[in-house]
Amino acid sequence: DIVMTQSPDSLAVSLGERATINCKSSQTILHTSNSKNYLAWYQQKPGQPPRLLFYWASTRESGVPDRFSGSGSGTDFSLTISSLQAEDVAVYYCQQYESTPYTFGQGTRLEIK
């Protein structure tokens, strides 16, 4: 199984500042055949289901503000919020879909400092 490890577990950032969440896979999730990284990012606010933010590691889902960006390749990935807004308080998860069992990172809780 591919293990997904996020860091940090929690993060407190001031409004307007940059927030970066890291995600590392235990093996590569880059397919050389199509040069795609099989990684998604989700945002989950309290009492709500997860919301898709990015797929293929860096393709932003429709409706996601452009202050959010996804990057990385192979085994190391990042989700960055360039200027934190109050509505960004949530838990963020990465997920690999390169192979079953599909696996999620443990989550990173993002709060306002």
Partner 1 sequence: QVQLVESGGGVVQPGGSLRLSCVASGFTFSNYAMHWVRQAPGKGLEWVAFIRYDGSNKYYPDSVKGRFTISRDDSKNTLDLQLNSLRPEDTAVYYCAKDRVRGYMDVWGKGTTVTVSS
105 makes contact with partner 1 (CB under 8 A): yes
Among 24, 75, 89, 104, contact with partner 1 (rule: CB under 8 A): 104
Which of 2, 23, 95, 110 binds partner 1 (CB under 8 A)? It is 95
Among 64, 71, 82, 97, binds partner 1 (CB under 8 A): 97
List the interface residues with partner 1, window 2-61 (CB under 8 A). Answer: 38, 40, 42, 44, 48-52, 55, 61
Q: Applying CB under 8 A, what is the total number of residues that bind partner 1?
A: 25
**DSSP string of 44-109?**
E-TTS--EEEEETTTEEPTT--TTEEEEEETTEEEEEESS--GGG-EEEEEEE-SSSSPEE---EE
Residue with tokens 């990465």: 94
Please say whether the beta carbons of 82 and 70 come within 8 A: no
The token pair that represents 30 in the structure block: 């880059």
Q: Between 14 and 74, whose beta carbon lies closer to partner 1? A: 74
d(CA 113, CA 104): 26
Binding stretches for partner 1 (CB under 8 A): 1, 38, 40, 42, 44, 48-52, 55, 61, 91, 93, 95, 97-98, 100-107
